[in-house]
Structure 1
Amino acid sequence: MAACTKNLLLLSTSTVHGTEYLQYASEHIKIFLSKWNVSNILFIPYALKDYDAYTNKARKALETFGFKVKGIHEMDNPVSAVAKAEAVFIGGGNTFQLLKSLYDNKIVEPIQQRVLKDGMPYIGSSAGTNVATVSICTTNDMPIVYPPTFQALSLVPFNINPHYLDPDPSSKHMGETREERIRQYHEISGMPPVLGMREGCILHVEGNKAVLKGLCGAKLFSPAKQPKELDVGADVSFLLQI
């Protein structure tokens, strides 16, 4: 494991239409983890209520990729589990429930330490991607529980909106679009940029380099600026320098 480097694979979603769980990202996951000689993955299922079922779902998929999976709830101590992990994968679900559980189990700082100081590979999907950012303020989820703060892991210095949907010009729905909600977020001064990741988009961060991968691109929203389209293969390393 190379020390003092950031290694993140942030998925917009775990499943795209017509495919199995994590199937669309399988090659990216294999390459990402194999580079760091990872054999065992610590899965954090806190975003859903049934930890066993969720872990078994992740285990079934990731074992076909050649990796062993252990749920953090199956370990004696969450903090020591993170300290010993070769890699962490945080799955999707409800972002508020996930963040609260990360704080309740006192693993926010241990994850930050392992990822930002030790270079431990981190995979996030949906809610797991949300908590890798500055805050969970740009999640699409309902606040079903109260985390102690909206501040998240800050593994990257910006926010992400997974499952980003473009406005449908033919729709008769008169509610706010996702773009309008992000613009409202930026009405508050000091808020970071938001990367709207469409279904199938993947952000790969290695050290000071960040590149969009996967099936489709993303849309970048910055305060007081027009949104910017970003295609697959786009170098977005500038976002790490904010």
Structure 2
Amino acid sequence: MTELLLLSNSTNPDAEPLAHAPLAEFYEGRTVHFVPYALADHAGYTARLGEAFARAGVSLRSVHTEPDPAAALASAEAVWVGGGNTFRLLTALQALDGLLALRTAVQAGVRYGGASAGTNLACPTIRTTNDMPIVEPAGFDALGLLDFQVNPHYLDPTPGSRHMGETRAERIAQFHEENEAPVVGLREGGWLRVSGDAVRLTGSALVFRRGEEPEECSDGLLTPWAPRA
């Protein structure tokens, strides 16, 4: 059964990284293989995340130190995919043949956690990321562990703002001009806990469905494909 923990963000204001995440409960003593490729400094990123996981009593080791990262992912007990730039993350995993290894492992029961770019990677594609395409991946298909899209770091429009650019809601509306999949706009501090077919939201989110008004959701079960009640 697929088990996922997908965060909007890894750090809340005035808090240590991942202090809000239920890491100990989710990983239950498993050694976690860390995927650091969304940032350029793999060693520094691993050190920072290692401290965060240690505070939760969870052991972390990075796949970038392994001679064969894809093989390490295939044999992992559990995985955490860090945030950063989603295009760089996907491109690196494509080059390492890591996508298939990771997808196969998670579908076989390996627990998958991630924040921001790591949450984007769990979706069918990375088309709802907020990141700049600083590198060019060989296609946008991601792990497909969900049957809907997530937009991490979802921002509501600021009343009275003089910003003339598109709001996040407008960008998601443009996505739905070309795509069918629902999009969960996951606000900061929130996460999705997926267990098999059940998706539970902690925090708050807007669910965008093609041709419908967005649905405001908070703590509880989430059904992105279901029509709005």
Equivalent of 1:68 in 56, 59, 65:
59
Deviations 1:54-87 (A, max 9, x none): 0111101101111111110111111210122110
Equivalent of 1:119 in 109, 125, 134:
109
Question: How far, CA to CA, are the matches of 1:237 and 1:115 in structure 2?
Answer: 21
Equivalent in the alignment of 1:186: 176
Aligned residues: 226
Q: TM-score, normalised by structure 1?
A: 0.91
Question: How far, CA to CA, are the matches of 2:223 and 2:169 in structure 1?
Answer: 23
Equivalent in the alignment of 2:190: 201
Equivalent of 1:231 in 215, 218, 221:
218
Query: What are the residue-to-residue correspondences of 1:58-137 with 2, within 5 Å?
Result: 58-116=49-107, 118-137=108-127
Equivalent in the alignment of 1:152: 142
Query: Does 2:10 correspond to 1:14?
Result: yes
Indicate the percent of aligned positions where both proteins have the same amino acid. 44
CA contact (8 A) 2:209 2:225 kept: no
Equivalent in the alignment of 1:39: 30
Equivalent in the alignment of 2:23: 29
CA contact (8 A) 2:86 2:129 kept: yes
CA contact (8 A) 2:153 2:186 kept: yes
Query: What are the residue-to-residue correspondences of 1:160-179 with 2, within 5 Å?
Result: 160-179=150-169
CA contact (8 A) 1:47 1:95 kept: yes
Give, in angstroms, the shift of residue 191 of structure 1.
Answer: 2.8
Give, in angstroms, the shift of residue 39 of structure 1.
Answer: 2.7
Q: What's the Cα RMSD here?
A: 1.2
Structure 1 residue ranges without an equivalent (≥5):
none
Query: Does 2:206 correspond to 1:219?
Result: yes
The 1:221/1:163 distance shift into structure 2, 3 A limit, reads same
Question: How far, CA to CA, are the matches of 1:67 and 1:180 in structure 2?
Answer: 40
Q: TM-score, normalised by structure 2?
A: 0.96
CA contact (8 A) 2:33 2:61 kept: yes
Q: Which amino acid aligns with 2:214?
A: P
Give, in angstroms, the shift of residue 29 of structure 1.
Answer: 1.6
Secondary structure of the structure 2 residue equivalent to 1:186: helix
